Amino acid sequence: MARQARLSLTGQVHHVLWRGNGREQVFVDALDRELFTALLVQHAQAQGVAVHAWALMPDHVHLLLTPQRDGALSLCLQAVGRAYVQAFNRRHVRRGTLWEGRFRSTVLEPETWLLRAMVWLDTHPQRLADGMGRWAGAALQGDAGVADAAQGNHPWVTAGHYLGHSVIKGLTPPPQYWALGNTPFAREAAYRTLLAHGCGASHQAVLAEAAMKGWVLGSAAFVAGLQQDTERRLQKKRPGRPVSSAARRDTNQR
């Protein structure tokens, strides 16, 4: 069966998932993450892509991006991927591919899902540590403790920028963040509350599945509006055989 085209729609918020080949590390230390984010900001600005948030986990990357021109998302990430792999291989004296094929992406309805996705990304290191994940012990010790992850200070994520702890050049706060308050203090306090509540397990599962499979995450009206701009199917088919036109006519006549 042919592989479905990657979803990329101009002006829409995309959740991008990029995994290491064979789930191997794509970041060994802070220098790797600094290089990746510098390349991301550089090529995003060059191609016209707004960068809202990221989570740089040891073996995968989550990004929230809005391409502002047709084709900008792919051009940006292709350039980042090439430059980063070359630098990573030189620095760590290795050869070959680093990423697990192409990146995955999906579109989020911003009013419903953008802040949830930001919270999911910004609390990712905390969940990793709480779950005693594969990388929790060594990785967290090398950069920041669990308490820092819980408070949004962890260097793998962008929470510190939105909580007023640091300034990350190249980030574009989305309108939904600006709507949290009329002053920086109010917005930071509101986002701190969102982080404290976290992203529920059901929402985490929905976000993860959408990213993996490339289905649009949003209301029926939102999906229907996007479907007018692309021939690519935006949601998975309902289970069961499709209803024939004759059967629909027969049902309507009853």
**pLDDT computed for residue 2 by the predictor:** 45
Q: Could you tell me the sign of the dihedral formed by the alpha carbons of 203, 166, 156, 37, in that order?
A: positive
User: Of 80, 44, 62, 64, which Cα lies nearest the Cα of 170?
Assistant: 44
**How far from 89 is each of 15, 95, 96, 98, 99, CA to CA, in Å?**
27, 6, 8, 9, 12
Note whether residue 120 is domain-resident: yes
Helix (H, G, I), strand (E, B) or coil at 249: helix
**pLDDT computed for residue 176 by the predictor:** 97
Query: Edge-to-edge strands of the sheet including 13-19?
Result: 49-57, 60-67, 13-19, 104-108
**pLDDT computed for residue 101 by the predictor:** 80
**pLDDT computed for residue 254 by the predictor:** 43
**pLDDT computed for residue 252 by the predictor:** 42
Note whether residue 34 is domain-resident: yes
- The CATH number that applies at residue 96 is 3.30.70.1290
Note whether residue 5 is domain-resident: no
Average pLDDT, the chain: 83
Note whether residue 214 is domain-resident: yes
Note whether residue 220 is domain-resident: yes
**pLDDT computed for residue 9 by the predictor:** 87
Residue 115 · residue 2 · CB < 8 Å: no
CA-CA distance, 40 to 38, in Å (whole number)? 5
* Residues in contact with 33: Cβ distance below 8 Å, sequence separation at least 6, in sequence order: 27, 56, 155, 156
Note whether residue 1 is domain-resident: no
Residue 89 · residue 176 · CB < 8 Å: no
Name beta bridge partners: 106: 15
Note whether residue 6 is domain-resident: no
What does the DSSP 8-state code read for residue 3?
P
Residue 82 · residue 65 · CB < 8 Å: no
pLDDT in tens, the chain (254 residues): 445 566 788 999 999 999 999 889 999 999 999 999 999 999 999 999 999 999 999 999 999 999 999 999 999 999 999 999 999 999 999 999 999 888 899 999 999 999 999 999 999 887 766 554 443 443 444 444 334 444 556 788 999 999 999 999 999 999 999 999 999 999 999 999 999 888 888 888 999 888 888 889 999 999 888 888 776 677 666 555 544 444 444 434 44
**pLDDT computed for residue 149 by the predictor:** 44
Note whether residue 226 is domain-resident: yes
Which residue's structure tokens are 């540590």?
129
**pLDDT computed for residue 110 by the predictor:** 96
Write out the residue range of the structural domain in which residue 65 sits: 13-253
Domain count, the chain: 1
